[in-house]
Amino acid sequence: MAKTGRNGTEKRRGPTDLKALIHVKYPELPENQRKVADFLLQHMREAPFLSVLEIEKQSGASKATVVRLAQSLGFSGFLELRSRLLKRVQSQIRQIDIFPAPPAKRGEETLTLVAHQDIRNISQTVSHLDRGVFTKVAGMIVDAPHVYTVGLGISSLMARTLAYSLNQVAVKATPFVHDSETFVGQLPFVRQSDLVIAFSFPPYSRETVDLAKAAAARHIRVIGITDKLTSPISFHCIHVLPIQSQNRLFTNSFSAISVLINALATEVALQNRPKAVKALKVTERLLHETGHYVPE
């Protein structure tokens, strides 16, 4: 039960939202408790229906660690934590599996196995993504004078794709270029009213995280698109959009990331419809006038 003060009133233990509470407590948790915290953040919908032994098995931590995490978060034990998880699920309506993937069969061809994995990535991302945060991020993109996107490796490809998609819907967006200058070296050109959207997936690039940290120190708003709410970059972001990127190779799958980019650009266009439509018409006219398209 929650602790009470001398006057009998309930003593607040921090943020009322469980995700926010875990995020605040995460930096001070020991490594084994972080495993359980990561599992809970990624399985908020399923966790209330799991026993402590099932969470032990799936998270890779011990039963005692699961209980200690609950206590570290301010709960009396696992049962109170599970009760809070259940209330959170009951307050949010989510479809169970929007894109259900059939179970993989032994000997299945590579194309089918990879397709099923990507379907699961998309399904889990769509099911667990906080719609309120998604809408807020789109609104911030619309309001920002200039949006900068950043990432290394596959994240660089995604950063450029997002910038291109936003430009298509009348948002001024520029990807940071990792060439002759470091990311941090380009930061002085970013104003406090601008917005930085950083892509960060395992193995996490230190340079991208350092940029987010430096931007936050200058009171520049940073949005993180990453694989979990507790990835290194998330602690320097005002909002985080967690995306499932599991892959059968050592690299990250970008199927669910691509869905998010498309959804963000679409939501931005809907929130900024008149300007987006006008920009698309002007662009289309200029491309035709300059002979950009090949005649059919």
Which residues of 120-266 form beta strands (DSSP E)? 147-150, 173-175, 195-200, 221-226, 239-242
Average pLDDT over residues 127-139: 92
Which residues is 200 bridged to in the sheet?
A: 226
Flag whether pLDDT at 94 surpasses 70: no
Which residues is 147 bridged to in the sheet?
A: 173, 195
pLDDT band at 84 (very low <50, low <70, confident <90, very high): confident
Q: Lowest mean pLDDT: which of 40-49, 184-193, 228-237?
A: 40-49
Average pLDDT over residues 249-268: 88
pLDDT band at 239 (very low <50, low <70, confident <90, very high): very high
Average pLDDT over residues 100-123: 74
Which residues is 150 bridged to in the sheet?
A: 198
Question: Regarding the domain delimited by 18-91, which CATH topology (the fold level of the hierarchy) does it fall under?
Answer: Arc Repressor Mutant, subunit A (1.10.10)
CA distances from 54 to 26, 71, 85 (A): 22, 19, 15
- What residue spans in the chain does CATH classification 1.10.10.10 cover? 18-91
Which residues of 81-193 form beta strands (DSSP E)? 147-150, 173-175
Phi, psi of 29 (to 5 degrees): -80, 145
Interatomic CA distance for residues 248 and 112, integer angstroms: 12
Residue 118: the pLDDT is 87
Residue 5: the pLDDT is 40
Contacts of 96-101 with CB under 8 Å at 24 or more apart are 96/127, 97/123, 97/127, 98/123, 98/126, 98/127, 99/123, 99/126
Average pLDDT over residues 179-184: 84
Q: To the nearest 10°, the Cα dihedral for 241, 112, 165, 295?
A: -170
Ramachandran region, residue 172 (left: φ > 0; alpha: ψ -120 to 50; beta: rest): beta
Flag whether pLDDT at 211 surpasses 90: yes
Residue 101: the pLDDT is 53
Check residue 73 and report its DSSP letter: T
Average pLDDT over residues 78-84: 87
Average pLDDT over residues 163-190: 91
Residue linked to tokens 């669910």: 256
Flag whether pLDDT at 96 surpasses 50: no
How does the average pLDDT of the chain come out, rounded?
Answer: 84
Average pLDDT over residues 241-269: 87
Q: Which amino acid is at 275?
A: K
Inter-residue contact 171 to 142 (CB < 8 Å): yes
Length of the chain: 296
pTM of the entire predicted model: 0.71
Average pLDDT over residues 30-38: 92
- Bond into 188 cis (ω within 30): no
Q: At what angle do helices 273-289 and 255-271 cross, to 10 degrees?
A: 110
Interatomic CA distance for residues 245 and 234, integer angstroms: 16
* Best CATH choice for the domain 122-284 from the list 3.40.50.150, 3.40.50.300, 2.70.210.12, 3.40.50.10490: 3.40.50.10490
Average pLDDT over residues 127-156: 94
% pLDDT > 70, the chain: 83
% pLDDT > 90, the chain: 48
Average pLDDT over residues 92-114: 60
Average pLDDT over residues 165-177: 93
- What residue spans in the chain does CATH classification 3.40.50.10490 cover? 122-284
CA distances from 167 to 172, 190, 223, 256 (A): 6, 17, 18, 21
Check residue 4 and report its DSSP letter: B
Residue 177: the pLDDT is 87
Residue 257: other Cβ atoms inside 10 A: 28
Interatomic CA distance for residues 218 and 199, integer angstroms: 19
Element (H or E) spanning 155, and its range? helix 154-168
Flag whether pLDDT at 33 surpasses 70: yes
Residue 49: the pLDDT is 79
In whole angstroms, what separates CA 39 from the centre of its chain? Answer: 15
Flag whether pLDDT at 220 surpasses 70: yes
Residue 293: the pLDDT is 66
Average pLDDT over residues 151-174: 93
pLDDT band at 241 (very low <50, low <70, confident <90, very high): very high
Residue 73: the pLDDT is 93
Residue 281: the pLDDT is 72
